[in-house]
Amino acid sequence: MKNVFSSQLIKLRRQRNFSQGALANKMFVSRQSISKWENGESEPSIDKLIDLSDVFNVDLNYLLIGKNKISKEIILKIDSLYKSFNKPVLKNINLKIHGNERIALLGSNGTGKSTLFKTLIGIEQPDKGKITYNFNKHKNLNVMPQQDNLINDLKVNEHINLSSAINKSYSKELTNNLLKKFNLFDNKNDYVSSLSGGQKRKLSLLISVIRPSKLLLLDEPTVGMDLDTIDFFWRYIDHIGGAVITITHDFNQIDKFFSRVILIKNGQISQDASVDTIHSHNQTIEQWYRIMNKE
């Protein structure tokens, strides 16, 4: 247990911005105990494990097993993909996506990131190449676009009920649970048009995760969010099942929540690296990106 548990404990503590001392106070143990748990020198009792799961608001399986080991299942494979408009936009894209990966898709504006997303969704068709989905794309692919795709004339609960019915996952209990989890319960009878920008982004996320997915695609999801909503957003995304591919330049969150980064330059995959490998070279993701994205 200790290797996975120790790394999970460090990860969760840093995500919550707890010092070892602050966590020790919450757990009614010494700071030295926290240090020993993180170093793998000792293990907490089952009672303390339960307390830790309560403090971090995660289940025991996540605390003990985590997501350190990426599934070997290949859920999506891209072979020699090309796409042009007036000029080449995507050139010889080859990629394998495994179950439960957290992938940040990076690159300057105009490098082909959004075109790749549109091609994966099916909005655009490749000129050459092949995309293999090892799942039902219509049932197990969820998308949160950069622009909120909401119906302003509906009330919040009506919009959720409509989306739930379309996805064949409607229940009153589900709707209420989602509204509470996303802190929108008090707004359930408000029209979508009256929501703040942050509330609309929360609603967009809620709708995109109503049903479980094998793959969730997020295009600049935190644009327009306030800081509290951003914090909620990344914590929630970290606990959903399936793989996630996100176009984002929120480097601090990539350091915390992602397992892999892919850099696109001039329509090609320039770099494909593990976040752990980058960190092992004493680099943050932002430092790595600035170096690798130089012309």
In this structure, what CATH number is given to the domain that contains residue 24? 1.10.260.40
Contact 219, 145 (CB under 8 A): yes
Given 13, 32, 64, which residue is the final one in a domain?
64
Q: What is the DSSP letter of 95?
A: E
Q: Are 228 and 143 part of one and the same domain?
A: yes
In this structure, what CATH number is given to the domain that contains residue 141? 3.40.50.300
pLDDT at residue number 145: 86
- Number of domains, the chain: 2
Q: Are 122 and 204 part of one and the same domain?
A: yes
What is the domain range of residue 147?
74-292
Q: Are 267 and 287 part of one and the same domain?
A: yes
Alpha carbons within 13 angstroms on the beta-carbon side of residue 207 total 24
Q: Are 135 and 185 part of one and the same domain?
A: yes
pTM for this one?
0.76
Q: Are 111 and 172 part of one and the same domain?
A: yes
Given 64, 99, 117, which residue is the final one in a domain?
64
pLDDT at residue number 68: 43
Sign of CA dihedral 98, 99, 104, 106: positive
Beta strands in 168-267 (DSSP E): 215-219, 243-247, 260-265
pLDDT at residue number 230: 83
Is residue 69 in a domain? no
Q: Are 58 and 89 part of one and the same domain?
A: no
Q: Are 90 and 161 part of one and the same domain?
A: yes
Q: Are 59 and 148 part of one and the same domain?
A: no
* pLDDT tens for each residue of 14-61: 888 889 999 999 999 999 999 999 888 888 887 788 788 878 877 666
Q: At what angle do helices 20-27 and 31-39 cross, to 10 degrees?
A: 110
pLDDT at residue number 129: 96
Q: Are 46 and 90 part of one and the same domain?
A: no
Q: Are 43 and 101 part of one and the same domain?
A: no
Q: Are 27 and 98 part of one and the same domain?
A: no
Query: Within the chain, which residues score under 50 in pLDDT?
Result: 1-2, 68
pLDDT at residue number 1: 47
Q: Are 121 and 251 part of one and the same domain?
A: yes
Residue environment code for 80-116, b if the CB has 16+ CB neighbours within 10 A, otherwise e: ebebeeeeebbbebebebbbbbbbbbbbeeebbbbbb
